[in-house]
Structure 1
Amino acid sequence: MLISALLMIVALLFSRFLAKSLTYPLQRLRDSMSRVQEGHFDGADVEIDSENEIGSLTKSFNVMTHRIQDLMEQNVKEQEAKRKSELKALQSQINPHFLYNTLDSIIWMAEGRKYEEVVLMTASLARLLRQSISNEDEVVPLAREVEYAKGYLTIQKMRYKDKLEFEIDVEPSILNIPLIKLVLQPIIENAIYHGLKYKESKGLLQVKGFMKDGNAVLQVIDNGVGMDEETLSHIYDKHKVNYHSNGVGVYNVQKRLKLYYGENYGITYESEKGVGTTATITIPGIQEESI
């Protein structure tokens, strides 16, 4: 009986040791799988203690996690490259559109024999084109975009003397925040061509900039003809490029802002028929390193 009892104790201890040697590696594998399932690949490798079936399974799991991680990193790089390419394509679409409308203004003045104004506008256009056509920088300080918008408004005021006045009031605290190029100008152009151009009296366009809830906010406000709800609901629709009707402006800028900053940022519109329209551009106040 004593020998039987001792043998049972030995058997129990051996079975416990055997069970532990089998379950412990499986527990480690299970825990690592749980971390990978949550997206945590750092430290996901499981140490291989043996060459049995569990060791083989562990080795396969380690290879699989490395492969998944490599594929995820590759996908991120490909998406980033695609995003950069799309940003550049949208950027290049704005340039000829802007140039077309500005040259149209110069032609209009030349036909009216306003030669001094033609010279002044041509010089202003040359300065603006240095920034709009240059591909050196995709992102510029917000101050440069404001200066660019001021130059563009100066040109347009020369064309619409009896139609346009403008004011620019941007807080100094946001002037150094990075902003993708050619955001303000298309929105201002849209306000002029679709809001103020059809106003019977002289219109006022205001550009405001300030910080709000940790974000940098730019507003383009006009007291033009405004939009009804039906027109406003289609403001972000993609149109075929039509230089006379500003077919690339709002859609283009909205697409670029969301590509660069994310879906939480971009342009929002408020408008009332016969009162005017406010376009609000929101970007992060604090940004990581630019692409």
Structure 2
Amino acid sequence: MAKKNIQELEWGEIEWIYEPESENSQNAMNIGIVTIYPNSSQNKHIHYGDEQVLYVLSGVGKQLIGDKISHIQAGSLHHIEVGSIHETINLGDEPIKELLISIPVHRDQNLPIPRKTQSMIVEGSLSENRVTVNEEIGYIYNGIIELLKIPVAIFDEEGNTVITGRYYPELCREKCGIEENVKKCPIYQMRDEYTPPYYSDPSAYVCPYGLTIFIMPIVFDNRVIGLIKGGHIRTSQIDMHINQYTQIKKNILGEAAYAAMHIVPKGTVNAILQQIKKLSKNIANYYLFKNTAVALNKQEEIIQDIVRNESILEESLKTAKDKALNIQIGNHFLFNTLNAIAGLAVKEKADKTYEAIIDLSKLMRYTLKNNSYFVYLQEEVEYLKNYINLQQLRYGNRLKVYFNVSGDTSRKKIPFNCLQPIVENCFIHGFKNMKEGMEIRITAEMQEDKLTLQIMDNGRGMDSDLQNYVYDKLQEDKKQGFSGLMMVYEKLDLLFEGQFTFLIESELGLGTRVTISLPDKVSSMDSQ
């Protein structure tokens, strides 16, 4: 790396020598060199989102993992499971250096954002991206945290208090005076961000009085813009080994305020973590919408929507998913109706009607059950045949459809539903006013390192002016008209980011041919 990426911490530093190129990268591993200064130690903490391996390069000390303490020396290897409390202690006069390998245990699988969209968001960002107090943030906070009745505070990236929180336990009020100033909490004072930069999950620290406090970063545009800290709970994991933790005050178990606190079960701990992660995500989503609104000159309208309530924000972020769910719910009734009609057709011996209903049902089930971005070509061809069967009810023997799909292409993967809209165009535009002799030819073959798909009809075709008009429409940001072609082209552009070919050839009175070429390294997914 040309420029060193070093995190400076109270106890030392981490130089990240390998990181994923972006948050959408398939490579999840982070590698760093950890340096712990002489006679220093990390704060005891827990990572809930990553598994770690430490290989000691030099130095001596102790390594606490769970309830076990082992000695550190050059060549020793230490494995830290997800959710294990751990601490490295330097007992020598020389720095401890460790090779750290950190791997997230889960990563959200989202459709990659096209580069042009990413750059639009960055260019349209506000000059100051940090968590600040306003009605929207307060509304999001209250909607999630107030239900838990636990203390949670929010800080900006510089450590300034944004929201102080409430419901601090008597132990915190008595020992730290936290109600006077939340920064009197020793964990709230800490500036120890021990997290690789390309993913974010909560960590947990144990305070000097034996309480567990969670820390969750708020990440926007690959940068930490704030921190959520809270919890202040008593757990069985700490109680069982409390005497092994040197930083915990002695005889804390005998303190009345500590003893009065109930031990929070693991299930409740997980629920608290989920709500804190949800708060972080919703705040980050709020800033994403706010900055995108600036780029689109619609800031006022979007902020007004966010102010109304959090549900509108979530609905805006998941519009596509909600629409798909509504369609599924509505079609549940439709499927039952189709089954009833099919049963009636069998009783009345209306074979063609029965076959048409079955073809229609297969079309709808294929569309609704498939939640993948890519499908096998043979599945897409079967879907296409069901659609053509329905069209032949109308055209009968006047329509001939030929498939020529080579065997080496059937297990290639292509974008879901990228052929049917083009075939539909043949009927809507190509065969308009034709009464007989209609033909469609559909081919798939490998040409060098490309999967080539062709759909050709013998319809009325287009002159050069109309072809140029169609191409111009394909290149426009706001695509209107020619909806079948536009939907397919936009889907290919979203998934392949320009690494594909979409060619339309047509001659007036002779027909139209659409050719799609996809890179084999993307479309060949036989092992998945």
The TM tier, using the shorter chain, reads 0.5 to 0.7
- SS at the partner of 1:286? helix
- What is the identity, as a one-letter code, of the residue corresponding to 2:468? S
Instruction: Kindly report which structure 2 residues correspond to 1:121-160, keeping only aligned pairs within 5 A, or say none.
Output: 121-160=356-395
Q: What is the TM-score normalised by the length of structure 2?
A: 0.35
Pair 289,269 (structure 1): closer, same or farther in 2 beyond 3 Å: closer
Give a deviation string over 1:148-199, Cα, whole Å, max 9, x none: 1111112111211154110000111111111111011000110122112432
Q: Aligned partners of 2:495 and 2:451: how far apart in 1? A: 15
Pair 176,233 (structure 1): closer, same or farther in 2 beyond 3 Å: same
Match of 2:466 in 1: 231
Match of residue 4, structure 2, among 45, 49, 52: 45
* Higher normalized contact order (CA 8 Å, seq sep 6+, divided by chain length): 1
- SS at the partner of 2:443? strand
- SS at the partner of 1:160? helix
Q: CA deviation at 1:267?
A: 2.3
Matched, 1:267 2:502: yes
Matched, 1:194 2:429: yes
- What is the identity, as a one-letter code, of the residue corresponding to 1:127? K
Q: CA deviation at 1:269?
A: 0.4
Matched, 1:176 2:417: no
- SS at the partner of 1:287? helix
Match of residue 282, structure 1, among 507, 511, 517: 517
Match of 1:243 in 2: none
- SS at the partner of 1:277? strand
Pair 227,119 (structure 1): closer, same or farther in 2 beyond 3 Å: same
- SS at the partner of 2:470? coil
Instruction: Kindly report which structure 2 residues correspond to 1:11-22, keeping only aligned pairs within 5 A, or say none.
Output: none
Match of residue 457, structure 2, among 216, 222, 230: 222
Give a deviation string over 1:241-273, Cα, whole Å, max 9, x none: xxxxxx521000001011112213142100000
- SS at the partner of 1:153? helix
Match of 1:17 in 2: none
Q: Aligned partners of 1:45 and 1:224: how far apart in 2? A: 62
Write 1 or 2 for the structure with the bigger share of helix: 1
Q: CA deviation at 1:145?
A: 0.8
Write 1 or 2 for the structure with the bigger share of strand: 2
Q: CA deviation at 1:276?
A: 0.7
1:217 touches 1:283 (CA, 8 Å); kept in 2? yes
2:412 touches 2:524 (CA, 8 Å); kept in 1? no
Give a deviation string over 1:23-47, Cα, whole Å, max 9, x none: xxxxxxxxxxxxxxxxxxx363299
Stretch deviating more after TM superposition (250-259 or 136-145): 136-145
Instruction: Kindly report which structure 2 residues correspond to 1:100-115, keeping only aligned pairs within 5 A, or say none.
Output: 115=350
2:413 touches 2:524 (CA, 8 Å); kept in 1? no
- What is the identity, as a one-letter code, of the residue corresponding to 1:198? N
Unaligned runs of 5+ in 2: 7-12, 26-107, 118-316, 332-337, 474-478
1:257 touches 1:266 (CA, 8 Å); kept in 2? no
Q: Aligned partners of 2:349 and 2:468: how far apart in 1? A: 40
Root-mean-square deviation (CA), in Å? 4.0
1:163 touches 1:197 (CA, 8 Å); kept in 2? no
- What is the identity, as a one-letter code, of the residue corresponding to 2:360? L
Q: Aligned partners of 2:456 and 2:366: how far apart in 1? A: 24
Match of 2:400 in 1: 165
Match of 1:73 in 2: 22
- SS at the partner of 2:455? strand
Q: Aligned partners of 2:432 and 2:464: how far apart in 1? A: 20
Pair 152,285 (structure 1): closer, same or farther in 2 beyond 3 Å: same
Q: CA deviation at 1:81?
A: 5.0
1:164 touches 1:196 (CA, 8 Å); kept in 2? no
2:463 touches 2:508 (CA, 8 Å); kept in 1? yes
Pair 171,74 (structure 1): closer, same or farther in 2 beyond 3 Å: closer
- The number of residue pairs the alignment matches comes to 209
Give a deviation string over 1:25-78, Cα, whole Å, max 9, x none: xxxxxxxxxxxxxxxxx363299xxxxxxxxxxxxxx99x98xx89x7359899
- What is the identity, as a one-letter code, of the residue corresponding to 2:457? D
Q: Aligned partners of 2:2 and 2:524: how far apart in 1? A: 27
Q: Aligned partners of 2:352 and 2:358: how far apart in 1? A: 10
**What is the identity percentage for the equivalent residue pairs of Structure 1 and Structure 2?**
26
Q: CA deviation at 1:234?
A: 2.7
1:168 touches 1:207 (CA, 8 Å); kept in 2? yes
Pair 123,289 (structure 1): closer, same or farther in 2 beyond 3 Å: closer
